[in-house]
Structure 1
Amino acid sequence: MKTLTALFAATALTLTAGLAQADVRPDHIEGLVKSGAVMPFDKLNAAAVATHPGASITDTELDTKHGVANQYVYEVDLTDTTGKRFEVKLDAKTGAVLENKQDT
């Protein structure tokens, strides 16, 4: 039983470490915007809200695209006017919507 518990704990730590590595460090963001690798966040936020007009942004995050160097995904959590929550993922360079799903 202890071996199984240790295995689950090690797996959870490994997955958490992998997710943490996907986040772009805040001190790198300004350089990415200046270089054109990432659109200004006000434009990305507007693109996300356009998918659910009237929605409010509750959280944003800039991540590297999994498995692709120097490509970024901007994730926006929204709450619409009826209280439904959505997660919208955008290509951070172009603003194209990659994913738009309702949180359950």
Structure 2
Amino acid sequence: MKNLTALFAATALTLTAGLAQADVRPDQIPSLLQSGAVKPFEQLNKAALAQHAGATIHDTELDDEAGRLIYEVDLIDTAGKKWDVKLDAKTGDVLENKQDT
């Protein structure tokens, strides 16, 4: 019975965490850019690429994490290693820079 309770608790926590982070809808992006809530994506991409010389962008995503807009960039460096770089979408500050395992 304890295992079943633990399973339900873990599932509930996972679902709740998923609700706290959601992709920003594409139709919202123009107004976010115009209002200054998000830096132009070219600037954010440059900031992410500056973390790994010679890397290329594999994927990008704009998420709303508890009211804070986060720009996520998946990079592949010259050695073929994958990196996840998270930026504050408004300021361009690097929040996370970790190798994707």
Residue of structure 2 aligned with 1:81, choices 78, 82, 92: 78
Aligned to 1:35: 35
Q: Secondary structure at the match of 1:53?
A: coil
Question: What is the letter of the counterpart of residue 48 of structure 1?
Answer: A
Is 1:102 the counterpart of 2:95? The answer is no
Question: What is the letter of the counterpart of residue 15 of structure 2?
Answer: T
For residues 39-87 of structure 1, what are the alpha-carbon distances to aligned partners after superposition, in whole Å with 9 as ceiling and x for unaligned? 0001000000000011010010001123xx3x21000000000000000
RMSD (CA atoms): 2.4
Structure that is richer in strand per residue: 2
Aligned to 2:19: 18
Question: What is the letter of the counterpart of residue 63 of structure 1?
Answer: D
Question: Distance between the aligned counterparts of 2:64 and 2:74, measured in 1?
Answer: 17
Question: Distance between the aligned counterparts of 1:53 and 1:15, measured in 2?
Answer: 37
Question: Distance between the aligned counterparts of 1:24 and 1:86, measured in 2?
Answer: 22
Structure 2: unaligned runs, 5 residues or longer:
none
Aligned to 1:53: 53
TM-score, normalising length from structure 1? 0.80
Question: What is the letter of the counterpart of residue 90 of structure 2?
Answer: K
Question: Distance between the aligned counterparts of 2:92 and 2:14, measured in 1?
Answer: 32
For residues 2-52 of structure 1, what are the alpha-carbon distances to aligned partners after superposition, in whole Å with 9 as ceiling and x for unaligned? xx5xx59x6598358526x61100100111001000000010000000000
Structure 1: unaligned runs, 5 residues or longer:
none
